[in-house]
Structure 1
């Protein structure tokens, strides 16, 4: 089968901003400071919203524990929120949020319901995310981060083997 390649007529080039003169991407100090302040304010807003999300996840877990008929709805809600945190953590310089939210999302991916053990593992994930947010842990190295990562992995591994984690 022959494929026909349609040549670009240059429409996109003509529509591009500053196509003829180019674009100056050098930033002066004032503009750089404004951009840095905007990023910092947005990062703070992201952390504040994440704290509220995590509070909501704790409330959802309590609802799932008290009302087994709510577990599927809670599971879906937590899965969606974990996905959102996973996507945004790295954008704002919090790769551990992304890593731990990914762990939570992956843990929930194949589940249809939340039994007690699974609820406990979700709770451990939420607590771990709280630690990252409350301590504003940027980057991915360091002793505390390694301890969090190891604890979370141990809990998930125990859950997968059906052993209740120590806690």
Structure 2
């Protein structure tokens, strides 16, 4: 926004507030809820593996386009399992998995077509998550995690740079970190 532009005021929607009420949440309830989550005995890996299987199927389907397929359908089929992984990883302390899924989700949501390079990037992401989950790699992965995140972002940047001449711009929207998963 430039200095000459008038800011646009958006009226807040209070639907969520109406559902949950106002004020703070009792700290005892928060601790009790956290304790329940910590001791629930739910294993993220089998859940994530199911989503990775779905992603693998979507990747294979994206390799072949039929008359009834559209790029949008192929992309959406890859988005859904990635979105589920991103949504659940953080709750189980798989921060790196969630962060990588966030980068991939933003990449996929920006696409308009599926080509061999897109498939290669998504497939590399798929294989990376399988390795991380297979090794039960919780947390942010430290320096290794930062390198993986940087490599995935760089692969996405290279892809957008390659198609920039067709789009007239490199879409950088997915590089907003937004914190952890």
Number of aligned residues:
136
How is 1:3-18 mapped onto 2 (pairs within 5 angstroms)?
none
Using the TM superposition, give the Cα deviation of residue 106 of structure 1 relative to its aligned residue in structure 2, in angstroms: 0.4
Larger Rg: 1
Higher-RCO chain (CA-CA 8 Å, sequence separation at least 6): 2
Using the TM superposition, give the Cα deviation of residue 53 of structure 1 relative to its aligned residue in structure 2, in angstroms: 1.3
Other-structure match for 2:65: 67
Using the TM superposition, give the Cα deviation of residue 132 of structure 1 relative to its aligned residue in structure 2, in angstroms: 2.0
**Deviates further, 96-105 or 109-118:** 109-118
Distance 1:122 1:60 in 2: 10
Distance 1:151 1:23 in 2: 40
Q: Give every structure 1 segment of 4 or more consecutive aligned residues whose post-TM-superposition deviation is greater than 6 Å.
A: 22-25
Listed as ranges, the gaps of 5+ residues in structure 1 are 1-21
Other-structure match for 1:52: 50
Distance 1:64 1:36 in 2: 38
Taking structure 1 as the reference length, the TM-score comes to 0.67
Other-structure match for 2:112: 112
Distance 1:141 1:115 in 2: 30
SS at match of 1:90: helix
Task: Say yes or no: does 1:137 pair with 2:137.
Answer: yes
Using the TM superposition, give the Cα deviation of residue 107 of structure 1 relative to its aligned residue in structure 2, in angstroms: 0.2
Distance 1:99 1:130 in 2: 15
